[in-house]
Structure 1
């Protein structure tokens, strides 16, 4: 299609198809928080090739309304969270969704994925820490295809450098569909039983260039490329099915022809579908502001801190979905400005201390809100926003817009500033 001038960009999932063996075992209310290489994973979850065709052509009737690049999956009906482009920035929202599930004591779980190169991102480590601290119902998959575009990663990823504890990570051969299936079944059973997160490091091969804008022949030898065929999960699975007489070679060939013809037809139909309208460019940037005529405090003189505390208390009383999270906000400290004093004592299931990790605070807020909670999260000083700025810009500020309103982020972030001293320089 690209050679024909039909479309401008594509991210291949060739070599990663065995992850469909993960998603076919998921329950209807489980979540996927993935990245752009996960075509097999989302197809196993229930997305169709027709939907992928609509996304490729950036058509209006997609999970993003035509606003996202190809392979940036989003399907709220199937609980497939909207893929952000900066790699690794999906991991903390995945933790937020998983925390919401745990707070509600539901038997569901979250599968989140990341490529090997993005394991050098700070959010990767923050997500691991938060998942282990809260014992979240989360399956964490690192898809190690040995390259970050052109850069080899097998010697400098955190597992190879002994930054990660090897015993925490189950090593899996990603071209072996049965191995992926069996390991997932075991992990899912333990996660649903309340045993906390599981971590898979999956070795696989990227059978194509990084994207349609890349040419891996520039940096991979001809010998290396010739050897890739034996790591093709589809070929390996086909050979196994034929060897075990579950299907004949002729039956497989017919099935292969039928699937290819169906995909050609569906992509041809998708090309003719409705395009986004320029008139909708600013639709779903934000929700309409809420209206409230309720009097929280009668007229009088109040200290700002007392006003904030009473407002937070009323919010917690009125809506059990409201969650407060921030550094030092639990009693006895009750916040460095005492804004949350006595709240954790009165609402122990809604008020929690956070780690000193601003990206965690903002990323978890986004995921928790997308799940359906109403997070009200504190940054101790506005000066400290910058370690979490990626989550603010990449997810909180545009999740609603980039998903055409299919995913929402009703979060409140507050941070003191000014007063009698700065929090930083």
Structure 2
């Protein structure tokens, strides 16, 4: 890929400027009592240099400081202004907080607030790309404080195990709200392999571009994931509900300007003769005035309707009258195995993933026996990591696959509960139907095992059924098992079977 042209340098400058002025405008509006909340991306804008390297079929799975990244990807300030005011005509239908980006048309996945929970779905999307043999990739980002989350480590392990086409970007601004993290993040604690992580200065737009260009070429060539640790400064308080002057010294705050990617990039381009100070001032003023008008227009746009509160919680279940199995005498385990087989035969997008599901074991209850032998590109063993199983399913389903994933016992769902209730159950609703999660999770259930004790005997359907967006089905006969599993596999929403 050629070096940055003058046109691309100016495009990056304008994107960073647009991101900065939109943040400043939202801060100003919030002080006026207009809008409910503000999350700043100031200091993080240089990641726009990564987005201009992406193709139309690549994916971005961001977090809430990535305004510059998503603007570079193709979202507009008008769209983000509508999100700021929680208006109806947005990627979330007005259901998300500001800076919780979602744009299915540009493959920008819906941001969840619990930071770090986006990483395993990002791996699921990347696995779908890999299974299809495509050269596309996923960029996923996370703040430094969230690198202490378990999902962060599970995502790294899964990406390395599968050699997934994904670029991980840690945006290290040194703070988790008020807590200083430079001494307690996993890189500082030697919990990560330093040689895996390329450490980059977040103020250096050119360096980020050059590093990303090299990494993306490596990923597209099939060489597996790449990991960036980008040190930057958070140039504003955590959110509009925070005041960083309470925990950062006046001297520290004065020094922040030296780390401002906008100032550094502007000064570099002027020094290179790409533009003059006068030309910069003109561009700066034009963008500022345009953004003021876009926020004025957004404030007058249509609000969400209370009558639509329950729209896109789930879709209607499919109406099917297929004969799945010929008449005969079956046990429930037999019908599950045969129905799974029929599903794999019918649709190559169906993927089975779970602990011990491959032959020769074929599952601890033999529910998947002979399936990996006959469908080796659709049936895979998982690690013993329920959050991985659930989070990867969410990403695969978002990408367009049809995951049918096994949990060895329903009692073991709780290590993955964050993925279940943060992402899987909410994705359709929080994105106003623009993203969906057609996934099936099947698991043995109830007190059927003598001596099963506490974690092999639970009947926890009442817990799961209380989360909007999840459907729970429990067969009591072999006929029920075949019919309910077949219907679940043809649905457009998450089903626990």
**TM-score past 0.5 threshold:** yes
> Does 1:83 pair with 2:118?
no
In the TM superposition, what is the alpha-carbon distance from 1:170 to its structure 2 partner? 0.2
SS at match of 1:300: coil
- Maintained 8 Å contact 1:383/1:423: no
1:170 paired residue number: 198
2:60 paired residue number: 32
Structure 1 stretch 366-375 or stretch 297-306: which is displaced more?
Answer: 297-306
Matches within 5 A, 1:37-186: 37-186=65-214
Which residue of 288, 291, 295 maps to 1:267?
Answer: 295
- Normalised by the length of structure 2, the TM-score is 0.85
In the TM superposition, what is the alpha-carbon distance from 1:296 to its structure 2 partner? 1.0
In the TM superposition, what is the alpha-carbon distance from 1:423 to its structure 2 partner? 7.1
SS at match of 1:406: coil
- Partner deviation per Cα, 1:299-326 (whole Å, 9 max, x = no partner): 3321111110000000000000000000
1:314 paired residue number: 342
SS at match of 1:385: helix
In the TM superposition, what is the alpha-carbon distance from 1:4 to its structure 2 partner? 1.2
1:3 paired residue number: 31
Question: Distance in 2 between the 1:423 and 1:345 partners?
Answer: 33
In the TM superposition, what is the alpha-carbon distance from 1:75 to its structure 2 partner? 0.2
Which residue of 376, 397, 400 maps to 1:348?
Answer: 376
- Maintained 8 Å contact 1:115/1:142: yes
1:420 paired residue number: 449
Q: Which runs of 4+ in 1 moved over 4 A?
A: none
Which residue of 394, 412, 436 maps to 1:384?
Answer: 412
- Partner deviation per Cα, 1:365-418 (whole Å, 9 max, x = no partner): 000000000000000001101000000000000100000000010000111012
Question: Distance in 2 between the 1:398 and 1:297 partners?
Answer: 34
2:468 paired residue number: none
- Maintained 8 Å contact 1:381/1:423: no
- Structure 1, gaps ≥5 residues long: none
Question: Distance in 1 between the 2:444 and 2:335 partners?
Answer: 14
- Maintained 8 Å contact 1:149/1:210: yes
In the TM superposition, what is the alpha-carbon distance from 1:298 to its structure 2 partner? 2.8
SS at match of 2:164: coil
SS at match of 1:113: strand
2:249 paired residue number: 221
Matches within 5 A, 1:254-293: 254-293=282-321
In the TM superposition, what is the alpha-carbon distance from 1:34 to its structure 2 partner? 0.6
Number of equivalences: 425
SS at match of 1:200: strand
Structure with more contact order per residue of length (Cα contacts < 8 Å, sep ≥ 6)? 1
In the TM superposition, what is the alpha-carbon distance from 1:290 to its structure 2 partner? 1.1
1:197 paired residue number: 225
Structure 1 stretch 1-10 or stretch 259-268: which is displaced more?
Answer: 1-10
Question: Distance in 1 between the 2:390 and 2:149 partners?
Answer: 16
SS at match of 1:401: helix
Which residue of 291, 296, 304 maps to 2:324?
Answer: 296
RMSD in angstroms over aligned alpha carbons? 0.7
Question: Distance in 1 between the 2:326 and 2:70 partners?
Answer: 53
- Maintained 8 Å contact 1:323/1:374: yes
Question: Distance in 2 between the 1:8 and 1:411 partners?
Answer: 34
- Maintained 8 Å contact 1:382/1:415: yes
